[in-house]
Structure 1
Amino acid sequence: MAPGFEEVAEEFERNFTDRGEVGAAFAAVRDGRPVVDLWGGLADRATGRPWRQDTLQLVFSGTKGLVAVCLLILIDRGLLELDAPVADHWPEFAAGGKGAIRVRDVVSHRARLPGIRSPLVEADLTDPRNLAGLLAAQAPDPDPRAGLVYHALTYGWLAGELVRRVDGRTVGRFFADEVAAPLGLDLWIGLPAAYEDRVSTLEYAPGWGAGPAADPRQLADDALFHRIWRNPPIFPTDHIPWNSRAFHEAEIPGAGAIGTARSIARLYGCLACGGVLDGVALLGSAALEQGRSPLAEGTDPFSKDPMAYGVGLQLQTPLRLLGPAPDAFGHDGAGGSVHAAWPRNGIGFSYSMNQLRDAEPVDSRRRALLTALWKATEDR
């Protein structure tokens, strides 16, 4: 813990003593150097396995930020252009009248493909090639709300297939080769079997289901809601498929990344420093600036929350999902996790945990940590 960041550690402790945290990690880097590296609690409540320094956590939609980095690398190399039709790289995508849909639409939740129309079962979520094919064959959703709505899982299959079509590697392989290896990250989209015993076990908080993804009032008669959140149910209440080896090893580029908070903070620390860290030039400044420039802004029709997106990256909104910094960019994840960069402060951070909550618009655990981190960085 760097001097001046003691209040962050105090809030991390209060998450356990006052806010019911089960297991968690929080890390931050400033100007490329670690300033916060905290972990504690239980990685598995049933067995009593403690959360250790190397415990890995699934971060759900935090994955979208990692996929965004892959897209930005391709943009930086001149291999992908935001205004190009998706079908230029993926000819089958033109089916169903989608020939005019551009890359910028896919990466900013405006592709009008927020859900898959074909009936799916849980196991289908682990087959990204098949799901990308179903999306390629599908017509744009005619529901007017589909013009800007959170593509909870389909963002990943669309963006991941774009990476594969442009580069030849799957998005998980691309991320491993081009991002994780150069920066020395314990972070994967598609976890190798050798690391399985380090993964924490997810659990639902008491009262899970208050959020829009599980709201039965919308499920009953809203076809668009059903396509996004219930085909199949992303978070079935009777079990958590995301704890299975099948889900861990699959490349689920909208929700399946697994890693340490320390590694995710290092990645965002690199982005906060302009895309260069410890001699690794991950991205050029022009591509990074393009990535964090607004492409879509509005209100999600289901959560009613403000939305703002660059190239796959969440941008700051009045909700302050990414902490107090006005220039923040990154991505949060279902259940409470959050991962982002604060460029003005040179900060990259990651908060990950294994008890999933959805009762608050902004999880009180992460709010406390990010408020303390902001105070520490603004004071120094």
Structure 2
Amino acid sequence: MGMGGAEIVRPGFEPVRALFMEIAATRPQVNAALAAYVDGAPVVDLWTGPAYRADSIQGVYSATKGAAGIALALLIQRGLVDPDAPVADYWPEFAAAGKDTITVRGLASHQAGLVNVDGGFTFDEFTGHTRLAERLAAQRPFWEPGTGHGYHALTIGTLVSELFLRVTGQPVGEFFRREIAEPYGVDFFIGLPEREEPRVVPSLPIDIGGDGPAPFELPPFFRQAMNIGVEFEEGSNLPGLRSFRAAGVASIGGFGSARGLARLYAVATQEVEGRPPLLTPETLAAVAEVQVSGADLVLPFPTTYSMLFEPAAPTAGRGSFGHSGANGALAYADPDLGLAFGYTTDTPSSVGGADPVTADLSHALAAAIRS
């Protein structure tokens, strides 16, 4: 399903391959893969490094949020969720502690102030879902909802997955599998089946800056959002745990290939293999619409969010949307260019977020498209 054997370089995209190989030559130990679709067809599918094979898959941390975002967009498109309705319309317990007016739109754009629960949460609560969802429903927000935004790094997956359970009877990972991944041949999983385990390439651990003095002043809710200070089993390398990989945590628990990520954004936005795009132009405009922008109450730099997406294209295409991941992953659609982009790696960058080389690769793809 969506697996490839041979690398792909469509005529005109040779400069992208040349750049990819040039980068690889300077970092021989880094495993990385790049895939892109343009106007519904794969134009590059490349991988490098000692561990990556044609069918390797990788934990992508927060790039998972983009996959959940495409699933949420589908619910909205089908009329099953109204983004301007209160979350409590679907999840009545959520109204507790003054949260009755928080809308789906506000929740999905990191404005709800539910970056954690009092006292933090355990690994079992995070992977088990139900108890953490109950605690979040009862929780008073850490800031007044709507007065600011802050990246719900871990909890947004639990919040959105509970919304899916209430509306569809399925967690987001199951909905994603049934409605998107399997019908469209997308090599991406929110909840990794045992049979896929041999394909996984381990991620190198990430330092989220919880210990020792920070090199910059941390925003007020950074430590809460990252659940720092709670005994969190091997917290620096959750994707290394089979129990985590299986759990389907919709914030950071996704696994897949660069090929799968590129295909995901392609089938969402382009006609692929004669099938119309999953999302209509109206839905695409709605999901890409910026909801908040500016100082972040969690992250030490300004952020911009739409509903579960960042405007992730380094080419800054109008209407682009996607998400990066803490270990270097990046996936996005840039509808202006007709581009769907997927990148995975096992090696976190020192700055966190997308591997910095994704910017150069994106610009090389844009140049090839325009030439």
Q: TM-score under structure 2 normalisation?
A: 0.89
Residue of 269, 272, 282 corresponding to 2:269: 272
Give 3-state SS (helix, strand or coil) of 1:96's partner. helix
Measure, in 2, the Cα distance between the counterparts of 1:197 and 1:124. 27
| 1:167-246 alignment runs, 5 A limit | 167-204=168-205, 209=207, 216-217=213-214, 224-231=221-228, 240-246=237-243
Measure, in 1, the Cα distance between the counterparts of 2:110 and 2:258. 26
Aligned to 1:334: 326
Residue of 314, 318, 325 corresponding to 2:310: 314
The answer on 1:130 being equivalent to 2:122 is no
With over 3 angstroms needed to count, the CA separation of the structure-2 counterparts of 1:286 and 1:165, relative to structure 1, is same
Aligned to 1:90: 91
| Deviations 1:158-206, CA, capped at 9 Å, x for gaps | 11111111111111110000110121112110000000110001114xx
The answer on 1:17 being equivalent to 2:9 is no
Identical-residue share of aligned pairs (%) = 37
Measure, in 1, the Cα distance between the counterparts of 2:262 and 2:231. 26
Measure, in 2, the Cα distance between the counterparts of 1:198 and 1:217. 36
Residue of 247, 250, 254 corresponding to 1:253: 250
Unaligned runs of 5+ in 1: 44-50, 316-320
Aligned to 1:323: 314
Q: How far does residue 378 in structure 1 lie from its aligned partner after superposition?
A: 2.0
Aligned to 2:367: 375
The answer on 1:148 being equivalent to 2:140 is no
| Deviations 1:282-308, CA, capped at 9 Å, x for gaps | 222212211111111122245443322
Code of the residue aligned with 1:203 in structure 2: it is L
| Deviations 1:97-144, CA, capped at 9 Å, x for gaps | 111111111110001112222332334321122211111010111379
With over 3 angstroms needed to count, the CA separation of the structure-2 counterparts of 1:216 and 1:171, relative to structure 1, is farther
Aligned to 2:10: 2
| Deviations 1:299-358, CA, capped at 9 Å, x for gaps | 22454433222221112xxxxx52213222111111221100111111101010001123
Q: Identify which range, 145-154 or 276-285, moves more after superposition.
A: 276-285
Q: Identify which range, 227-236 or 91-100, moves more after superposition.
A: 227-236
Measure, in 2, the Cα distance between the counterparts of 1:214 and 1:144. 29
Q: How far does residue 277 in structure 1 lie from its aligned partner after superposition?
A: 5.9
Q: How far does residue 215 in structure 1 lie from its aligned partner after superposition?
A: 6.8
Aligned to 2:340: 348
